[in-house]
A and B are shown apart, each in its own frame.
Chain A
Amino acid sequence: MIRHFLIVVTALFFLAQPGGAVQPDEILADPVLEQRARELSKNVRCVVCQNQTIDESEADQARDLRLVVRERLMAGDSDEEVLDYLVYRYGDWVLLRTPVKAETLALWLLPLVLLGIAAASVLFWYRGVSRRAKKPAQALSAEEKARLDALLGEDD
Chain B
Amino acid sequence: MSKRVFFLVPFLVLFGLGVAFYFGLFAAAERGQRVIPDAMVGKPVPNFDLASYRSDQPGLNTADLKGQPQLVNFFASWCVPCLAEHPLISKLAEEEGVIVNGIGYSDTPENIENWLKRHGNPYARVGVDETRRIGVDWGVSGVPETYLVDAEGKIVFKYGGPLTRQVIKEEILPLMKGLSR
Contacts and interface: CB of A to CB of B under 8 A. Distances in A.
Interface of A: 47-48, 50, 60-61, 64-65, 67-68, 87-91, 93-94, 117-118, 121
Interface residues of B, number: 20
Complex A-B, nearest 9 residue pairs according to Cβ-Cβ distance, in ascending order: A91-B39, A47-B141, A89-B139, A90-B37, A64-B132, A91-B37, A90-B139, A90-B39, A64-B136
Nearest to B139: A89
A64 B138 CA distance: 13
A50 B142 contact: no
B1 interface: no
Contact of B37 (A47, A67, A68, A117): A47
A50 B40 CA distance: 18
Specify the main secondary structure of chain A where it touches its partner: helix
B119 to A, nearest CB: 23
Contacts of A121: 10
A93 B35 contact: yes
A61 B35 contact: no
Given A47-B37, A50-B34, A118-B10, A89 B132 contact: no
B132 A60 contact: yes
Interface of B: 10, 34-35, 37-40, 43, 46, 106, 131-133, 135-139, 141-142
B39 A89 contact: yes
A67 B141 CA distance: 15
Contacts of B131: 64
Contacts of B137: 89
Contact of A61 (B10, B39, B141): B141
A91 B136 contact: no
Specify the main secondary structure of chain B where it touches its partner: loop
Given A50-B35, A64-B136, A121-B10, 17 more contacts: A47-B37, A47-B141, A60-B106, A61-B141, A61-B142, A64-B131, A64-B133, A65-B136, A67-B133, A68-B133, A88-B39, A88-B43, A89-B46, A89-B136, A89-B137, A90-B141, A91-B38
A126 to B, nearest CB: 13
A48 B142 contact: yes
A37 to B, nearest CB: 15
Nearest to A87: B39
A47 B39 CA distance: 13
Nearest to A86: B136
Contacts of B35: 50, 93
Nearest to A124: B6
Contacts of A68: 133, 136
Contacts of B10: 117-118, 121
A23 to B, nearest CB: 14
